[in-house]
């Protein structure tokens, strides 16, 4: 048996720059892992089988793990069986990249599991076919992401904050979010990585300059998500933002006691996770 951990991510800022001829959007964001993960267990088996715990997800070709496995096997002519047990902890449709992380972690483990050598460039090509966020999870660290999120500049980001993620029981479709987003205009050339690293301890600056273009749309459609962000600031969080196009709001806090208070406050009606300062993988 092989046991894998697939960590969630938050988007520290998300700018939607323009729509591309291929239908995707050029974006600018920072991907950063948090200490919340799904677990994948791989077993030798006589056929292909996917078992899922803690989530009502399809196990057929609609599941990204099944897609990953079949795409990998077809790419390298493999016909051996495998059983995958996926234990879901990352909320679905929450902007935390759970499915993409599952796919990437599985993809990285398959060459050794099937005893073949695969070049990293070949894994990246498969990852790009699975989804725009999947390539990020092939490597450790945080990343400044542009184009459709697949042009990645990895860097070390040591955040001096506790991070709390709060996910209400709301599933938001990424497709819906992009289709309903109004045109956004961004002036200046300072990128998010530069802004964050040079102002990491200036919470007022972060509040004003690290933005998510989906907030206006999603807060209007789901005022209960807007309320979470407002309450985080009311209680004294240093910085709070919607993550990706999903329903999760995260906050940075330097006060450990405040984090504990926020956890107790929000866990009643939401899924909540906490990440310690300077966490990285």
Residues 6+ apart with CB under 8 A from 175: none
Active site residue 102: no
In the chain (281 residues long), the average pLDDT of successive 10-residue segments reads: 98 92 90 98 96 91 95 95 97 93 98 96 96 95 94 96 97 91 74 95 96 96 98 98 96 98 97 97 90
Taking alpha carbons only, the member of 131, 107, 140, 133 closest to residue 121 is 107
The pLDDT of residue 18: 86
For the chain, the structural domain boundaries read: 2-153, 157-275
157-275 has which CATH code? 3.30.70.890
User: Which region, left, alpha or beta, applies to residue 115 given φ > 0 means left and ψ of -120 to 50 means alpha?
Assistant: left
Cα torsion angle, 213, 265, 9, 190, sign: positive
Distance of CA 197 to the CA centre of its chain: 20
Task: Fold for 2-153, please state it.
Answer: Ribosomal Protein S5; domain 2 (3.30.230)
Cα torsion angle, 107, 108, 109, 115, sign: positive
pTM of the model: 0.95
The pLDDT of residue 206: 97
The pLDDT of residue 55: 87
- Alpha-carbon distances, residue 153 vs 94, 95, 140, 147 (angstroms): 24, 20, 11, 12
The residues that bridge with 271 in the sheet, in sequence order, are 167
Instruction: Evaluate whether 57 touches 22 at the Cβ level (below 8 Å).
Output: no
Active site residue 9: yes
> Helices 64-76 and 98-113 sit at what angle, rounded to 10 degrees?
30
The pLDDT of residue 184: 77
The pLDDT of residue 187: 67
Residues 6+ apart with CB under 8 A from 231: 265, 266
The pLDDT of residue 142: 98
**Catalytic pick from 9, 67, 88, 229?**
9
3-state secondary structure the chain: CEEEEEEEEEEEEEEEEEECCCCCEEEEEEEEEEEEEEEEEEEEECCEEEEEECCCCCCCCCCHHHHHHHHHHHHHCCCCEEEEEEECCCCCCCCCCHHHHHHHHHHHHHHHHCCCCCCHHHHHHHHHHHCCCHHHHHCCCEEEEECCCCEEEEECCCCCCEEEEEECCCCCCHHHHHHHCCCCCCCCCCCHHHHHHHCCCCHHHHHHHCCECCHHHHHHHCHHHHHHHHHHHHHCCCEEEECCCCCCEEEEECCHHHHHHHHHHHCCCCEEEEECCCCCC
**Catalytic pick from 133, 193, 213, 238?**
133
């Amino acid at each position: 048996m092989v046991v894998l951990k697939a960590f969630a991510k938050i988007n520290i800022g998300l700018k939607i720059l323009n729509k591309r001829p291929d239908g995707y959007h050029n974006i600018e964001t920072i991907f950063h892992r948090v200490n919340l993960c799904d677990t994948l267990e791989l077993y030798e088996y006589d056929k292909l089988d996917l078992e899922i715990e803690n989530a009502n997800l399809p196990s057929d070709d609609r599941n990204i793990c099944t897609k990953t496995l079949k795409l990998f096997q077809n790419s390298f002519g493999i016909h051996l069986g495998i059983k995958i047990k996926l234990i879901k902890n990352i909320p679905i449709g929450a902007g935390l990249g759970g499915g993409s992380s599952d796919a990437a972690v599985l993809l990285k483990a398959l060459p050794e599991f099937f005893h073949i050598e695969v070049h990293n460039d070949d894994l990246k090509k498969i990852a790009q076919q699975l989804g725009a966020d999947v390539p990020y999870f092939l490597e450790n660290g945080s990343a400044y992401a542009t184009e459709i999120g697949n042009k990645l500049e990895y860097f070390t980001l040591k955040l001096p904050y506790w991070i709390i993620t709060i996910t209400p029981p709301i599933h938001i479709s990424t497709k819906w979010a992009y289709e309903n987003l109004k045109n956004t205009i961004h002036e200046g050339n300072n990128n998010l990585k530069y802004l964050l690293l040079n102002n990491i301890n200036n919470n007022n600056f972060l509040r004003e300059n690290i933005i998510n273009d989906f907030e206006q749309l999603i807060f209007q459609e789901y005022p209960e998500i807007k309320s979470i962000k407002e309450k985080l600031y009311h209680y004294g969080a240093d910085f709070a933002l919607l993550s990706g196009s999903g329903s999760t709001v995260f906050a940075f806090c330097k006060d450990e006691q405040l984090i504990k208070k926020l956890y107790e406050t929000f866990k009643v009606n939401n899924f909540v996770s906490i990440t310690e300062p300077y966490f990285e993988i």
